[in-house]
Structure 1
């Protein structure tokens, strides 16, 4: 693990991540805390050694032989110096300094700091095990260096209480730091999820706009291509038919450009997703106008519409039916020019709406220039039907016709 993978405050890390954090550079706060701990342990070592060397036994702290006091002082200095590596190897340092608990007075403050460090940076069983060993060594300590003011058992009770307080303090600090880490991770996760939701909403909105524009532009451009093809292949048509075709060719690009301008404006503004598209908003009541528009373009369309109470159809369902019929008629003009198209719309509240568009498969291939397509029309229709909770099927049936059928729920 590199230092880049460690948070800015390694002292907040619990458990196994502390070793990785220990390899990072100390912060100013770390230097301050380590320096104070070192000075505290060093000051206690000097004070304890001076008291032990005092000629007045009243002030001597657990005095022993002269050689033991000198050894004790050296061990106290070494333990204080070892505090600089307690962040990297807390357990190893605690195990290495365990023998000092059996005889050293000057190292007692450094030992308490080490125990506190283990309690903060390691799980409770590890810290409790080291504390238990220290308490066992306390029996040897008071046997070798009895307290001049307290009895053996009174000194043991005070030692147990003091070490237990240090352990409890360390566990409290550890729990608090883990809580801070948990809250920070939770906040970061919530922020990341919020950004993901925003990105998903933006993606869904753009997909919805693209689907709407495909449905609108493909329909208008296919009409434009159909009328232009008629003028190309029938230059001798009657003036009325030429004028009618020219009118469609003139008005269709204007309408398509208007739709395109509005959608580009929405994309530039990056507005939030809405339940209903702003424009266009066709409903099932606009279906007759769509059929008449296709008939005016020369498509033979027969319709069977047995939907009661058209005004009661939910707007989203009616719009989806409109788009499905629009896509079916557009595909028929593109790939089966001249073929008759049948449109069936049936259903009611509680039963759902069923829409079916059927046309004969072109015989002998396409005779005129094929209108290019992106191949995303049926994909967009499938997405629309799935979002509405319906079903979609399309392809050649047993009779050889191309069939596009969908069922959409209509709550009762």
Structure 2
């Protein structure tokens, strides 16, 4: 399990802060060494000074008995060694030890301040407040147990409270800064993760769009190939002129299919300015050419466009073109030899209506053209994304109808 750094253990729930072992970094080793040198160095300095006949560092406590000086040194040594284990689970026991011994110790004063500062940095405010209150109480009792020679009680106590408040405030500032850094880091990581997710979603949407585009473009061409190849298979004794004509149509359709495939794949390689359509993007103006292609394959198409294609918005025109293209492809697949009626009508504000009808086939086609069965599903999705709707099915007069409505804003 990944370990939290000591400066981030305040994020853990209550009761778990001291249960997580801290992994000490190089910076932590340097800080702990500095704290030990300061704490134990002060202990040695005070002890040596108090053992002299006339102390110069802490002359206020020159009347202390020898046994108390050595006891003070032992307590200061233990507290200073405890600084190496103040991170993690041992912080609270060490802080309690420092709070109790601060009733009488002089040599461990710096160590006790460091321990209180550590509590303010690594623990919640409530825990820090308890130890700060305990420090104030022991500070109030200290001048009674070890009074200073030339300083009144209230002055000694006031200076002790000042130091306690400074240490606690300093620790709270460090803790707040670490919280802020942690919050900013989390926000940055979250923003990066969200950006990666958006990129992945954009890639997925682009792949789906390319797949739909390839289906719309190639299904139409390949169905023409399959239809002519099936005719040649059924009529092997056809006249040479008919065979040559069918072969020419197959060659032209195959060439056009390859060209369309190159254009579709080119979408993945070329970046177009944002907001401009990417090829291939035919609109309603290309419907006559689409109908002619189907007629050249032997499909009877009656095209009735009752609007001016140039007045239709490009996005609506592209969607309408794909709907007509898929409708003609389905008619060739499932109802060969029938007449397909295509009607496009509408007006600004009323919307654009596409109606494609052909007689319901009485017999299964002799040459089945394979398909995925998802063409109408894709058309429905296209129409829905464009703000319109699409319906298809068998009509009471035994026809298959494909009807779509697309918005045509003013």
TM-score of the alignment, normalized to the shorter chain, above 0.5? yes
Secondary structure, aligned partner of 1:15: helix
Q: Displacement, 1:379?
A: 3.3
The answer as to whether partners of 1:12 and 1:180 remain within 8 angstroms in 2 is: no
Q: CA deviation at 1:276?
A: 4.7
CA contact (8 A) 1:23 1:88 kept: yes
Deviation at 1:271, TM superposition (A): 4.8
Runs (4+) of structure 1 exceeding 6 A deviation are none
Give how far 1:202 is off: 2.4
Q: Following TM superposition, by how much is the alpha carbon of 1:333 offset from its aligned partner in structure 2, in angstroms?
A: 0.9
RMSD: 2.5
**Is 1:353 matched with 2:352?**
yes
The question of 1:319 aligning with 2:318 is answered yes
Structure 1 residues 353 and 157, CA gap change in structure 2 (3 angstroms): same
Q: In structure 2, what is the equivalent of residue 333 of structure 1?
A: 332
* 323-332 or 173-182: bigger deviation: 173-182
Q: Give the distance between the partners of 1:48 and 1:400, measured in 2 at CA.
A: 108
Query: Which is further off, 354-363 or 170-179?
Result: 354-363
Q: Is the 8 A contact 1:284 1:310 kept in 2?
A: yes
Aligned partners of 1:288 and 1:55: how far apart in 2?
116
Cα gap change, 1:354 to 1:149, in 2 (>3 Å): farther
Structure 2 equivalent of residue 23 of structure 1: 21
Q: Residue 201 of structure 1 contacts residue 273 of structure 1 at CA under 8 Å; is this kept in 2?
A: no
Structure 2 SS opposite 1:347? strand
C-alpha distance 396-160 of structure 1, shift in aligned 2 (>3 A)? farther
Unmatched runs of 5 consecutive residues or more in structure 1:
none
Query: Per-residue displacement from partner, 1:312-347 (whole Å, max 9, x unpaired)?
Result: 211111011000110111111112222332222222
- What is the alpha-carbon distance in structure 1 between the residues aligned to residue 19 and residue 389 of structure 2? 55
Residue 357 of structure 2 aligns to a residue whose secondary structure is strand
1:279 and 2:243 matched: no
Q: CA deviation at 1:32?
A: 0.7
CA distance in 2 between partners of 1:257 and 1:351 (Å): 38
Q: Which residue does 2:59 correspond to in 1?
A: 60
**C-alpha distance in 2, partners of 1:266/1:315?**
18
Corresponding residue of 1:264: 265
Is the Cα–Cα contact under 8 Å of residues 51 and 61 in structure 1 kept in the other structure?
A: no
- Higher mean C-alpha deviation, range 373-382 or range 79-88: 373-382
Match of 1:43 in 2: 41
Once residues 270 and 118 of structure 2 are traced to their aligned partners in structure 1, the CA distance between those partners, rounded to angstroms, is 52
Give the 3 Å change call, closer, same or farther, for CA 68–401 of structure 1 in structure 2.
farther
Provide the TM-score with structure 1 as the length reference.
0.90
Q: Secondary structure at the match of 1:187?
A: helix
The DSSP-based 3-state class of the residue aligned with 1:102 is: coil
* Cα separation, partners in 2 of 1:392 and 1:156, compared to 1, 3 Å: farther
Q: SS of 1:261's equivalent?
A: helix
Change (3 A) 1:243 1:20: farther
TM-score, scaled to structure 2: 0.90
Change (3 A) 1:148 1:391: farther
Asked if 2 retains the 8 angstrom alpha-carbon contact of 1:355 and 1:406, the reply is yes
What are the residue-to-residue correspondences of 1:107-146 with 2, within 5 Å?
107-146=108-147
Equivalent residue, structure 1, for 2:203: 202
Q: 1:360 offset after TM fit, Å?
A: 3.0
Q: Secondary structure at the match of 2:81?
A: helix
Count of residue correspondences: 404
Residue 157 (1) aligns with residue 158 (2): yes
For residues 85 and 262 of structure 1, the distance between their equivalents in structure 2, rounded to whole angstroms, comes to: 68
Give the Cα–Cα distance (whole angstroms) in 2 for the partners of residues 282 and 255 of structure 1: 14
Q: Does 1:403 align with 2:401?
A: yes
Q: More displaced, 20-29 or 221-230? A: 20-29
1:20 shift after superposition: 8.5
2:353–2:405 contact (8 Å) kept in structure 1: yes
Partner deviation per Cα, 1:139-198 (whole Å, 9 max, x = no partner): 111111122232211122211111111111111111111222222222222222222222
